Amino acid sequence: MIAVVDYDAGNLHSVLKAAQAAGLAAAVTEEPADLEAADAVILPGVGSFPACMDRLRERGFVEPLRRYLAADRPFLGICLGLQLLFERSDEGPGADGLGILPGRVARIVAPGLKVPQIGWNALRLLRPAALFEGIADGEYFYFVHSFHAIPERAEDLVAVVEHGQAVTAAVSRGRIHAVQFHPEKSSAAGLRLLRNFGRLVAGA
């Protein structure tokens, strides 16, 4: 079972429907204890970084997520679910994240362009990654965000898009994967990525 974390801060039902359409045995959970028994975890998220971290704390998910991620178990973060993996965000004072990946989250700098970035953008793959198997460099995915992660470790960065600057689009370390875009809103390419994640889970 793939646990989709419900903490009142995600595009939850669209993510669940897309995961199921891609053939994943996914179910929503509000119980932190379910993470231990799950084969994989999907962490969606929309809104502000500090508010989402507050909700994770209120629901008791922070320490179970940290233990799960520290064990290098299969994980997919979506949108804010990517940003929360990092140590901190500039979005608010004291906005500390899960601290799994070194780096911070900063506002996109895009002179002459709209921020938030809303809409389709072409992915630039920086290295091969199993999550993107069969997805061509330059494939379009759907984004909605004003902030992006800045990893300290270059090897954690998998893909970027251009929006006034190189904007982090995907990160990966071990079995931990995360994307800034919304695969559930990205048509066939998004479903392909979710199927790839399912295969990674099956092989874990």
Q: Which long-range contacts (CB under 8 A, 24 or more apart) does 66-69 make?
A: 66/98, 66/99, 66/100, 68/35, 68/36, 68/41, 69/98, 69/100, 69/176
Q: What is the tens place of the pLDDT at every residue in 69-102?
A: 999 999 999 999 999 999 999 998 778 999 999 9
Per the structure, the count of domains in the chain is 1
Q: What is the tens place of the pLDDT at every residue in 21-35?
A: 999 999 999 999 999
184 is catalytic: yes
Q: What pLDDT, on the 0 to 100 scale, is given for residue 115?
A: 96
Which position among 148, 163, 177, 182 bears the catalytic label?
A: 182
CATH code at 56? 3.40.50.880
139 is catalytic: no
Range of the domain at 10: 2-203
Nearest alpha carbon to residue 53 among 23, 92, 17: 92
52 is catalytic: no
Which position among 52, 79, 139, 163 bears the catalytic label?
A: 79
pTM of the complete model beyond 0.85: yes
